[in-house]
Structure 1
Amino acid sequence: MQPLIDLFDQHGPLLVFLNVFIEQLGAPIPAVPTLMLAGTLAAQGLLSAWSALILAVLGSGMANFIWYLAGRRHGHKVLGLMCRISLSPDTCVGRTTRAYTRWGVASLLIARFVPGLSALASPLAGALGLPAGRFVLFDTLGTSLWAGSAIGTGFLLHKQVDAILAALSAIGAVAIPVLLGLLALYVLYRWLERQRLLRFVRLHHMPVAALRERLQQGHAPIVVDVRSAASRASDPRRIPGALEMEVSEVQRLLADVPKDAEIVFYCSCPNEASAALAARALQRHGYRHVHPLAGGLDAWLAQQD
Structure 2
Amino acid sequence: MLRELIIAYGFPLVFLNVLLESLGLPVPAMPALILTGAITALVGGHENVWSTRLSLFNVVLVATSSAVVGDLIWFWLGRRYGSRVLRFLCSVSMSRDTCVSRTAEVFEKFGVRALIVTKFIPGLSTLAIPVAGAMGVSLIGFLFYDTVGATLWATVGVATGAMFSGAVGNILNVLDWFGLGAAIIAAILLIAYLGIRWRHRATLISRLSMPRLDAVELDALLAKDPPPCIIDARHGVRRRTDPVQIPGAISLDNGASITEVVGADLSRKFVIYCDCPNEVSAALLAEKMKMEGFTDVSPLSGGLAAWRAAGFALEPLSFDATMREAADEIQHRGLP
**Compared CA separation, residues 289 and 199, structure 1 to 2 (3 A):** farther
Counterpart residue number, 1:28: 26
Is the Cα–Cα contact under 8 Å of residues 37 and 161 in structure 2 kept in the other structure? yes
Q: C-alpha separation between the residues in 2 aligned to 1:121 and 1:243?
A: 23
Structure 2 unaligned blocks of 5 or more = 45-51, 315-336
Q: Which moved more, 1:243-252 or 1:12-21?
A: 243-252
Q: Deviations over 1:157-215 (max 9, x none)?
A: 22332333334334332111111111122223333444555677786321122233334
| Separation in 2, partners of 1:56, 1:164 | 23
Secondary structure of the 1:137 match is: helix
How far residue 64 of structure 1 moved from its aligned partner, in angstroms, is 0.9
Q: Indicate if the aligned counterparts of 1:200 and 1:276 stay in contact, CA closer than 8 A.
A: no
Counterpart for residue 13 of structure 2: 15
In 2, are the aligned partners of 1:204 and 1:290 still within 8 Å (CA)?
no
Q: CA RMSD in A?
A: 3.3
Alignment of 1:64 onto 2:71: yes
Residue 82 (structure 2) aligns with:
75
CA offset at residue 45 of structure 1?
3.5
Could you tell me which residue of structure 1 aligns to residue 312 of structure 2? 303
Q: Does 1:153 align with 2:160?
A: yes
**How does 1:215-230 map onto structure 2 within 5 Å?**
215-218=222-225, 223-230=230-237
Q: 1:16 to 1:262 in 2, by over 3 A?
A: same
- Cα deviation for residue 113 of structure 1 reads 1.1
CA-to-aligned-CA distance 1:239-282 (integer Å, 9 cap, x gap) = 525361449977999xx686x87653211234423223434566
CA contact (8 A) 2:34 2:159 kept: yes
Q: Which runs of 5+ in 1 are unaligned?
A: none
SS of aligned partner of 2:271? strand
How many residue pairs align between the two structures?
A: 301
The answer on whether the counterparts of 2:96 and 2:277 sit within 8 Å (CA) in structure 1 is no
Q: Secondary structure at the match of 2:182?
A: helix
The within-5 A match list for 1:284-299 is 290-299=297-306
Larger fraction in helix: 1
Q: Are 1:140 and 2:147 matched, yes or no?
A: yes
Q: Counterparts of 1:117-128 in structure 2 under 5 Å?
A: 117-128=124-135
Q: Kindly indicate whether residue 255 of structure 2 is the aligned counterpart of residue 244 of structure 1.
A: no
Contact 2:246/2:313 (8 A) holds in 1: no
In the superposition, relative to structure 1, how do residues 50 and 243 fare at CA in structure 2: closer, same or farther (>3 Å)? closer
**Distance in 1 between residues matched to 2:18 and 2:79, nearest whole Å:** 22
The equivalent of 1:269 in structure 2 is 276
Q: Which amino acid aligns with 1:122?
A: I
Which has the higher relative contact order, 1 or 2, with Cα contacts under 8 A spaced 6 or more apart? 2
Q: Distance between the aligned counterparts of 1:222 and 1:186, measured in 2?
A: 41
The corresponding residue for 1:42 is 40
| Secondary structure of 2:126 counterpart | helix
CA distance in 1, matches of 2:13, 2:118: 22
